Amino acid sequence: MPLFDGKDKSRYATFTRRTLMTGGAVGAVLGALGVRLYQLQILEGEQFRARAEQNSVSARLVAPLRGRIFDRFGVELANNRRNYRVLIIPEQALEGVEAALDTVGRIILLTDRDRARILRDVAQNKKFVPSTVAENLTWEEFARVNMHLPYLSGIQPDAGETRDYPFGDELSHVLGYVAAVSPKDEERDNDPVLELPGFRIGKRGIEKAYDAKVRGSAGVSRVEVNAYGRVIRELSRDPGSPGADVWLTIDRELQKFVVQRVGAESVACAVMDVQNGDVLALASTPGYDPNLFNVGINATQWRGLLTDDHQPLIDKSLAGLYPPGSTFKPAVALSALDAGAITPDFAVNCSGSLALGNYVFHCWKKRGHGHVDLHRGIAQSCDVYFYNVARRLGIDGIEAGAHKLGLGHFTNIEIPGERAGVIPGRAWKEATYGAPWLEGETLNAGIGQGYVLVTPLQLCTMAARVASGNEVNPRIVRVVGKEVEPRPALKRLAFADDALAAVRSGMNAVTNDPSGTAFRFRIPNPGLEMAGKTGTAQVRKISSAEHLKGVTKNENLPWKLRDHALFISYAPVSVPRYACSIVLEHGAIGHPHVEMVRDILIFAQQRDPLKLTPAYPVNAASLGGASPTRAA
């Protein structure tokens, strides 16, 4: 049998023909691929190059480190601690945000509420903006997340910094707190750093007032990222600038003592350097823990703060308005002496009340004080004496004098939220009530009642001005960053020296004369003696019928209706350095508030923070900070 025949020949011919056709087809396909390459790489190359660049380089904001807040000796009142957190970037969660949360929820605890919040954040943000999944994780939790990272698409661990207030509620109203940025904040402020996940800004106190400086400015890090958003390397970094540190005039030790001494009472207390207005302690108790607002306060805690009748959310020292009561009397006396309305020898006979037209004005002492001159009038706080002084001086004189002592207007302390209070006058009454001033109202104003409303900080300022004779204003910020806050030169108070001396002598008698209203609570330590003035502010109206029957004692009233107890003082009497004011809300039973001030002023003088070298520089040249050392 022949191996090959015609059949082979014909099929070989067919094969060759068809192979050549196939070869042509192969060539055409390869040509088409080449054309496609030309289209992609030459015609659209630039476009794709740009997209590749976008793909791999991403600019990220670097959160600036928030400036710290120090007390005068360099104790950190607000600082930053490591915050291990986990973020989610929705656009990188390839299986969806829900799935990513399911997975990460197996590694760290996520409650349903957490999930709801995360999903809300994600919905509000752009797809490439990270949202916080969890923060303040322990190192172990954080390490676990990092370990499982290969399975967690869209999840990004992040070691950031968060605000910490090591002393909790001790300084809540001075420092304020930081909290998450609200949509309103973002409208007001177009700093891009606000878009960083979990960024916090100052909402109250110093944190709010100095937020722009303490916040710092965001840096930009240009990083090369891979498809999962993982950073491969950093191409360039503008670190931005950390926020400025703020040095306060506060002495944390004194602040702590004040807060502990007043205990659970509802109290506003200020301690000030009479020479320059440096606020050494400023307390409004009870306070709140500012860390709660940073970490995220829960509903129960928030409701607790809101409904507490001691009002922990209100800064009573600046925003609490109280009738000064008898603590106003030194101001009236000083104004009258200065205006020449009275001399220190001016005397009246107190029978326990004073009649004016149809009205009867009562003295706190029903039986009367008898013969009262200025010294006794202040020492024993005779109301009838001051009714007479006020009548002689007139409301215009009271108004002008009170303003000179810093009452009834903003002290302009650096903490926001301050209220001005009221020193009434003819124009004020006309503007507020559309009615003319009545003489009886002058008498009420003369004993710090009626329309008069002041803040505890104003009272402290007044005490400092009386003590020093200088027009001091309270200041709580000394240094911001490297800049020493400017201090205007102190003016002498526009009161005659002998008038000041007469009032000081009366205030000295309040505590150091056996007839004084606060003699029992004097400072016995030689050289540390304090001068002061007590006061009681009525919370309720006392009718004339009640006056006849006998005024109900505070002990028999519910807490909310009891009088406020006030006290202003300065020490030492000989060379005053420390001024202190206190308002003990609804506390006018005995004199616990005077006892508090006594202890505070003893502590302050024995510690003597004004004689210690402050850690912050006194002038800009020596900036750098020394550790607190006791001056010889």
Query: Using the rule CB under 8 A, is 227 a contact of another protein?
Result: yes
Judged by beta carbon, residue 30 or residue 427, the one nearer another protein is 30
Rule CB under 8 A: choose which of 62, 77, 94, 443 binds another protein: 94
Q: Look-up: residue for tokens 């005024």? A: 551
Task: Give least dist CB 100 to another protein, A.
Answer: 13
Cα–Cα dist 286/169, whole Å = 8
| DSSP label of 423 | -
Q: Rule CB under 8 A: say whether 15 interacts with another protein.
A: yes
Report if residue 52 touches another protein, rule: CB under 8 A: yes
Which of 201, 198, 195, 163 lies closest to 179 in space, CA to CA? Answer: 201
The rounded distance, in Å, linking the Cα atoms of 612 and 632 is 9
Q: How far is the CB of 110 from another protein (least distance, A)?
A: 24
Stretch of residues binding another protein (CB under 8 A), selected from 221-229, 345-353, 364-372, 451-459: 221-229
The answer to whether 242 and 65 are in contact (CB under 8 A) is yes
91 binds another protein (CB under 8 A): yes
- Closest approach, Cβ 119 to another protein, in A, equals 19
Question: What is the contact mask toward another protein in residues 54 to 73, using x (rule: CB under 8 A)?
Answer: -xx-----------------
| Interface pick for another protein out of 164, 224, 396, 485 (rule CB under 8 A) | 224
Opening angle at CA 422, ends 433 and 564, nearest 5: 115
**β partners of residue 62:** 219
Q: 3-state SS of 470-504?
A: ECCCCECEEEECCEECCCCCCCECCCCHHHHHHHH
Q: In angstroms, give the least distance from the CB of 21 to another protein.
A: 9
Contact 443, 391 (CB under 8 A): yes
Nearer to another protein among residue 42 and residue 355 (C-beta): 42
Q: Nearest to residue 565, comparing CAs of 540, 541, 594, 599? A: 594
Radius of gyration of the chain (CA): 36
Choose, by CB under 8 A, the member of 65, 225, 557, 612 that binds another protein: 225
The answer to whether residue 349 forms part of the interface with another protein (CB under 8 A) is no
Provide the terminal-to-terminal Cα distance of the chain, rounded to the nearest Å. Answer: 130
d(CA 149, CA 155): 7
Closer residue to another protein (CB): 8 or 546: 8
* H helix or E strand, kind and range, residue 247: strand 246-248
If one asks whether residue 371 binds another protein (CB under 8 A), the answer comes out as no
Q: Counting contacts by CB under 8 A, is residue 489 touching another protein?
A: no
Indicate the length of the chain as a whole number.
Answer: 632
User: Does 37 contact another protein by CB under 8 A?
Assistant: yes
Q: Is the dihedral of CA 150, 154, 160, 163 positive or negative?
A: negative
- Nearest to another protein of 35, 620 (CB atom): 35
- Shortest approach of another protein to residue 26 CB, angstroms? 6
Task: List the beta bridge partners of residue 629.
Answer: 613
Calpha distance 459→507 (Å, rounded): 14
Q: Does 491 bind another protein (CB under 8 A)?
A: no
Q: Is there binding between residue 27 and another protein (CB under 8 A)?
A: yes
To another protein, the closest distance from the beta carbon of 118 in angstroms equals 20
499 and 331 Cβ atoms separated by less than 8 Å = no
What minimum distance in Å lies between the beta carbon of 101 and another protein?
18
Query: What is the smallest separation between the CB atom of 95 and another protein, expressed in angstroms?
Result: 10
Residue of 12, 139, 433, 559 that binds another protein (CB under 8 A): 12
* Helix (H) or strand (E) run with residue 571 in it: strand 564-571
Residue 28 interacts with another protein (CB under 8 A): yes or no: no
Which among 541, 539, 554, 547 has a CA at the least distance from the CA of 592?
554
Nearer to another protein, 12 or 139 (CB): 12
How near is the Cβ of 105 to another protein at its closest, in Å?
Answer: 22
> Which contacts of 548-554 are long-range, i.e. CB under 8 A and separated by 24 or more positions?
554/588, 554/589
Take residue 226 and report the two structure tokens written for it: 């891979």
Q: Minimum distance between the CB of residue 68 and another protein, rounded to whole angstroms? A: 38
CA distances from 143 to 7, 140, 158, 159, 229 (A): 77, 5, 11, 11, 19
The residue from 131, 153, 221, 326 that is catalytic is 326
Is 232 or 575 the residue whose CB approaches another protein more closely? 232
User: Does the footprint of another protein cover residue 109 (CB under 8 A)?
Assistant: no
Using CB under 8 A as the binding rule, the residues of this chain from 232 to 271 that contact another protein are 232
- 221: annotated active-site residue: no
Question: Binding another protein by CB under 8 A: which of 40, 147, 427, 623?
Answer: 40
Which C-beta is closer to another protein: that of 43 or that of 489? 43
Q: Cα dist. 443→56, 98, 375, 386, 545 in Å?
A: 79, 71, 19, 8, 20
Question: Beta-carbon neighbour count of residue 102 at 10 Å?
Answer: 13
Applying CB under 8 A, which of residues 23, 168, 263, 304 lies at the interface with another protein?
Answer: 23
Least distance in Å: CB of 11 to another protein? 4
- Per CB under 8 A, does 51 bind another protein? yes
Among 38, 139, 433, 559, contact with another protein (rule: CB under 8 A): 38
Binding another protein (rule: CB under 8 A), the pick from 14, 138, 236, 622 is: 14
Residue 128, interface with another protein (CB under 8 A)? no
Round to whole Å and give the CA distance between 579 and 591: 18
41: DSSP letter: I
Q: Give the 3-state secondary structure of residue 72.
A: coil
Among 182, 226, 241, 544, binds another protein (CB under 8 A): 226
Q: Does 228 bind another protein (CB under 8 A)?
A: yes
Rounded-to-integer distance, Cα 449 and Cα 500, Å: 23
520 touching another protein, by CB under 8 A: no
**Residues that contact another protein, how many (by CB under 8 A):** 46
**By CB under 8 A, residue 49 contacts another protein:** yes
| Contact residues: another protein, CB under 8 A | 1, 3-4, 7-8, 10-12, 14-16, 18-19, 22-23, 26-27, 29-30, 33-34, 36-38, 40-42, 44-49, 51-53, 55-56, 91, 94, 224-228, 232
Residues annotated as part of the active site: 326
